[in-house]
Amino acid sequence: MATETTSDRQGRTSRVEPLDAIEAAADYGIDVAQLRDNLALTVAERLRRHQIALNTVEKLQKAKRR
């Protein structure tokens, strides 16, 4: 993987190794394993899962209004 260059709010640039960024994301609380698992799916499968989740939320919202 290539090294990336980032800028902070003061305009200073620094080099970030991708593995450092992944480690920082995990330390922040992001479930990196879940992201990798989802990215291993096809786009169609991710869309299907999204639709299932959206349908569930809509059903819950509808039930709450009753």
13-61: per-residue pLDDT in tens?
A: 777 677 888 999 999 999 999 999 999 999 999 999 999 999 999 999 9
User: CA-to-CA distance for 49 and 60, rounded, in angstroms?
Assistant: 17
User: CA-to-CA distance for 66 and 2, rounded, in angstroms?
Assistant: 53
User: CA-to-CA distance for 58 and 61, rounded, in angstroms?
Assistant: 5
Contact 1, 16 (CB under 8 A): no
Contact 26, 32 (CB under 8 A): yes
Say what the pLDDT of residue 30 is.
95
Residue 8 has pLDDT above 80, yes or no: no
Say what the pLDDT of residue 21 is.
87
Say what the pLDDT of residue 47 is.
98
User: CA-to-CA distance for 36 and 41, rounded, in angstroms?
Assistant: 9
Query: pTM here?
Result: 0.57
Say what the pLDDT of residue 39 is.
94
